[in-house]
A and B are shown apart, each in its own frame.
Chain A
Amino acid sequence: MRSIQRRLSLGLISVMVVVGLVLAQTSLWLFEMGLQRYLEAGLRNDSENLLVALVRGPQGLQLDERHLSPAYQRPFSGHYFRIDFADSHWRSRSLWDQQLPQLEHPGLSNLQLGPEGQQLLVLRTDYRRLGQSISISVAQDYTPVRESFLRMQQVGLGLGLAGLLLILLLQRLTVRRALRPLEKAREQIAQLQQGQRSQLDDQVPVELEPLVAQINHLLAHTEDSLKRSRNALGNLGHALKTPLAVLLSLASSEQLDAHPQLRKVLKAQLEQVQQRLNRELNRARLSGDALPGALFDCDAELPGLLATLNMIHGEHLDLSYRCPPGLQLPRDREDVLELLGNLLDNACKWADAEVRLSVSETAQGFELSVEDDGPGIPEGRRDQVVSRGTRLDEQTDGHGLGLGIVRDIVDNWGGVLRLEESEWGGLKVAIELPKR
């Protein structure tokens, strides 16, 4: 999509150009019409003067030179006349060797004359004088007026262009100012994506209000339903796991001592139910990428997590973490805790004395790794541990490594999980997470 700014500019330019041209041209034309009418009055005056100058002389009609304007005597002075009689015509001296053609009809017209290329405005008027039909044509050089019109047109065009540029500039400023809330909303959505905020600012213009309100509503709704479904899953888990605990306890009770076969089957089946239940409930609880505003604050959460693990596995384990201060992972808090909790729990089970968690930001995203100083996994078996079971019932609890849920979370995030050898010879689980 083209930007709104561009569209507005294009639309404005085309409208301004069309309107400006039409307006300028029309006003020029109207002005010229007015001017011609004014000149016509002068020409009519000249024509009437000529009529008065026509006097009866000894050889019939003749022009009284005294009444003639001197401009008619000077060659190409810009003022000309022609008087047509029934059989002959007179020309003014100023015409010199040029012919002023007679107009077909009485009235005003434009003509081009002679080598000087003068634009003439010609008025023909018909009279009867002393019993004769006389047609008097007077002409005036129109070229200076034409030229000044041309100059006016050029100046007008220049002014129009400058005006257009100015308007465009102002329009750009106005539009940018008017679109600032949109730009702000765009920035906020970007921040939302990076997890720097959880809601959009609702101080926006009326036009944007429904949009922002709707987005905020959706965010709140997603968060709420995630919370509700997690709660429901917790309740479901509670409702199923407590009876399961009873059954497991019963399966190892003395009453079954006499039926070892029955006990074995019971225990195996119950264990399968338990594993499956845990796996599916954990998986259902993952938020994945549903919430854009999710954030995991390493500094705030990691000490609590490590303290918890230390409490569970005993103080003899040295749990440490390396993480740049202030680092925040743009993921759901519970998901990250689940991932790290399971990884660290697993590492603690195998470690002799040391477990280390490292979190770092890379160019592509984030890298998490958990290392222990336990026995590790031989290289040939690592793939087997990480690979996904082909059949559903083969997907046991991560082959006893607690990696099942870890893999689910990493897959959900579009990350990559690798098993390597740690610096102490134990297992290192490295996870690469893409940026959002």
Chain B
Amino acid sequence: MRLLLVEDHVPLADELLAGLNRQGYAVDWLADGRDAVYQGSSEPYDLIILDLGLPGLPGLEVLAQWRAGGLGTPVLILTARDSWAERIEGLKAGADDYLTKPFHPEELHLRIQALLRRSHGQVNQPTLKAAGLHLDEGRQCVIRDGADIQLTAAEFRLLRYFMLHPQQILSKSHLAEHLYDGETERDSNVLEVHVNHLRRKLGKSVIETRRGQGYLFGGQAQ
């Protein structure tokens, strides 16, 4: 999952980056509203966390420009302005969720998970489920038939992305774009290694390889 964090308060951004990285998200960080307008619509993010009080351009304006440009990425607004009038304004501008500062880091993580599930059509589920697998995002492990299977951080990231996109052909470059932030070097061999690890742990049939196209997750389950 690749996220964009737009937050101008550096210490908070540092904290959030550290926390989100621990949760297995690849995060790009911006502090200026004008940069956010451009980068938010040019890079393939899965979710955007947007602060409203931004230098350069106010957060609501940034959001309005994204939505006017047809950007459908889910946006979670992070703000200290917590009056209901402002919340309604934010959601009218096209936000998908609203979290007020200060917040517990776990609260943010839960909201992000819920928002990602919702935006991928998995409504009303407390956890991520696909192809008979059950992903515990808190403990970063997967449960199959009641048995825990431990995952490394990289495997967790990859599996989560697959589980949010079941029965979709995902190319290596697409996976690389969504699993690594803008500064990490993308090596498709590393991806192959992680896919093999997952197959070893979950069974060969879970992830199919479509030659020349990419990978297909959960194709056998149906």
Interface residues of A (CB under 8 A from B): 234, 237-250, 252-253, 270, 274, 278, 282, 285, 301, 304-305, 307-308, 311-312, 314-316, 333-334, 337-338, 340-342
Contact = CB atoms under 8 A, between A and B. Distances in A.
A338 B85 contact: yes
B61 interface: no
Interface of B: 9, 11-12, 15-16, 18-19, 53, 79-88, 91-92, 96-98, 100-106, 114, 118, 123-124
A264 to B, nearest CB: 14
Given A242-B9, A246-B9, A311 B102 contact: no
Given A249-B15, A249-B19, A250-B15, A334 B83 contact: yes
A368 B53 CA distance: 34
Contact of B84 (A238, A242, A315, A342): A342
Contacts of B19: 249, 253
Contacts of A243: 9, 11-12
B105 A238 contact: no
Contacts of B82: 237, 278
A334 B83 CA distance: 8
Contacts of A337: 83-85, 88
Sorted nearest first, the 6 A-B pairs with minimum C-beta distance are A341-B84, A241-B80, A245-B102, A238-B80, A244-B102, A249-B15
A237 B80 contact: yes
B91 A242 contact: no
A314 B80 contact: no
Contacts of B97: 311-312
Contacts of B18: 253
B96 A315 contact: no
A248 B85 contact: no
Nearest to A273: B102
27 contacts: A234-B80, A237-B81, A237-B82, A238-B53, A238-B80, A239-B80, A241-B80, A241-B101, A242-B101, A242-B102, A244-B102, A245-B15, A248-B104, A249-B15, A249-B105, A252-B105, A270-B102, A274-B102, A278-B82, A282-B83, A307-B91, A311-B91, A315-B124, A333-B85, A334-B85, A337-B85, A342-B84
B8 to A, nearest CB: 9
A242 B80 contact: yes
B84 A248 contact: no
B112 to A, nearest CB: 14
Contacts of B85: 333-334, 337-338
Contacts of B88: 301, 304-305, 308, 337
B73 to A, nearest CB: 16
A250 B88 CA distance: 30
Contact of B83 (A304, A316, A338): A338
Nearest to B12: A246
A311 to B, nearest CB: 6
Given A252-B106, A311-B97, A314-B124, 16 more contacts: A241-B101, A242-B9, A243-B11, A245-B15, A253-B15, A285-B83, A301-B88, A305-B84, A305-B88, A308-B98, A316-B124, A334-B85, A337-B85, A338-B83, A338-B84, A338-B85
